[in-house]
Amino acid sequence: MNSLKRFREAMQRGTPDRVPVAPMVNVPHASRVLGVKPWEYVTENKLYVKGQLKAWRLYGYDWIFNHQPIQGITREERRAMRVENGFVVLPTELGTTLKIPLEGGPAVKEPALKSYDELDKLEMPDLDKPERWEPLKALLEKTKGEVYICSKVPAPFHYAAEWMRGMENFMLDMITQPIEVHRLLEFMTEVAIEIGKRQIDLGTHGIMMEDPSAAAQVISPVHYREFAYPYEKKVCSALRKYGGEVIIHICGDTTPILEDLAKTGASCLSVDESVDLRDAKRRVGKRVALFGNVSVDTIYRGTRAEIEGNVEKCITSAGSEGYIVSSSCGLHAGTPIENLKVMVNAGKKMGAR
């Protein structure tokens, strides 16, 4: 059984020959493996593809996480890139300006919307530019159906909060101007669905939607059900109808909203370490596959025994049916390559039937 078949089997809540292993190899780690600066990895599509492929070959895990939120960087975006106070500043087509430190991952410098009056002028990013799809095409071509390629779409709630309005504004907007918030979320939902459909057309195997701002430490279940859930559901059902399968990842606690998440139409839920996998399996295991949740803290600084112990605990709690062993979140910057090797190898060994 190759990685692609193994991963697909688990996504359909089946029991493959062994539990698939799929750590969330993100900007800091992939650039580290490739030996380039994080900003080079983020802004050069070729380096991005190289980094992901090199990490996949090095560790031999079962997926590739095609994690750029609006996919490949276009020529226009690259042209607008500049260096400011030791940061690489990257304006995006959604109107959000990102900044990337010389070491470390990208963060939002300026959210797109100062007020909701600007919402009517907002345009869908141009998805016809060929550079957007260079990374996904290259990853599919180079891996020839060996491995599960999972491509990211921007979750409406999280990207509305972090990219479009800024977190603090958005949190207040939910109470003070909910109608405008819903208008923005409708727009972001269209963006996510459109990006997802293009990825499915090109042949992506799965879709990843990360919605951390909807975590239960941040908003109440009531707010989750009003502002996050309906749009997660719209994206998942539209993409499912279009032939895709979606993993929703929320870093942070999702214990109070697991049943809701399972009803979004997602095929799989990726949970953080604050969620008890055994409890999650019991509550939603009949509806969705589970993904997670070896502590990124342990992978970062744990001993071999601690990392192996954590992997074992996850696999014992979740069982080998409908389960993919992964990190609880994106890997910490500075995670030693040796440590991730221990995690991946432990997953392969302990997850075997």
Partner 1 sequence: MDIKKAVIEGKIYEIEELISQALESGKASNDILKEMISGMEVVSDLFERKVYYVPETLLSAHAMQRGLDIIRPLLNYDKVEVQGKVLIGTVAGDVHDIGKNLVSMFLEGAGFEVKNLGRDVPTQVFVEETRKYKPDILGLSAMMSTTIVKMREVIEALEEAGLRDDVLVIIGGAAASESYAREIGADGYASDAAKAVKLCEKLMKERGKRELVKEIPRSHAARHA
* Binding footprint of partner 1 on the chain (CB under 8 A): 27-28, 99, 101, 103-105, 107-109, 167-168, 171-172, 174-176, 217-220, 223, 251-252, 296-297, 300-301, 329-334
CA dist 243 and 268 (Å) reads: 15
CA dist 67 and 24 (Å) reads: 9
Count the alpha carbons within 13 Å of 101 in the hemisphere toward its beta carbon.
Answer: 6
Cβ 245 vs Cβ 229: under 8 Å? no
Closest approach of partner 1 to the CB of residue 201, in Å? 33
Strands laid side by side in the 97-101 sheet: 82-84, 87-91, 97-101, 107-110
C-alpha angle with apex 163: 26 to 296, nearest 5 degrees? 30
Closest approach of partner 1 to the CB of residue 26, in Å? 9
- Please count the helices (runs of H) and the strands (runs of E) in the chain: 16, 11
Closest approach of partner 1 to the CB of residue 216, in Å? 8
CA dist 248 and 240 (Å) reads: 13
N-term to C-term CA, the chain: 13
Residue 83 or 107: which CB sits closer to partner 1?
107
Closest approach of partner 1 to the CB of residue 143, in Å? 27
Closest approach of partner 1 to the CB of residue 45, in Å? 21
Residue 105 or 292: which CB sits closer to partner 1?
105
Residue 83 or 352: which CB sits closer to partner 1?
83
CA dist 276 and 270 (Å) reads: 12
| Structure-token pair, residue 102 | 């010389």
Residue 43 or 267: which CB sits closer to partner 1?
43
Closest approach of partner 1 to the CB of residue 321, in Å? 30
Residue 20 or 106: which CB sits closer to partner 1?
106
Closest approach of partner 1 to the CB of residue 166, in Å? 9
Closest approach of partner 1 to the CB of residue 219, in Å? 5
Closest approach of partner 1 to the CB of residue 174, in Å? 5
Count the alpha carbons within 13 Å of 139 in the hemisphere toward its beta carbon.
Answer: 33
Residue 197 CA: distances (Å) to CA of 72, 194, 210 = 15, 5, 17
For residues 277-289, b (16+ Cβ closer than 10 Å) or e, as one string?
Answer: beebbeebbebbb
Strands (E), 67-106: 82-84, 87-91, 97-101
Residue 103 or 123: which CB sits closer to partner 1?
103
Using DSSP, state whether 50 is helix, strand or coil. Answer: helix
Q: Partners of 84 in the beta sheet?
A: 87
Residue 332 or 349: which CB sits closer to partner 1?
332
Residue 52 or 328: which CB sits closer to partner 1?
328
Closest approach of partner 1 to the CB of residue 14, in Å? 32
Residue 61 or 224: which CB sits closer to partner 1?
224
Residue 104 or 319: which CB sits closer to partner 1?
104
Count the alpha carbons within 13 Å of 226 in the hemisphere toward its beta carbon.
Answer: 12
Cβ 9 vs Cβ 16: under 8 Å? yes
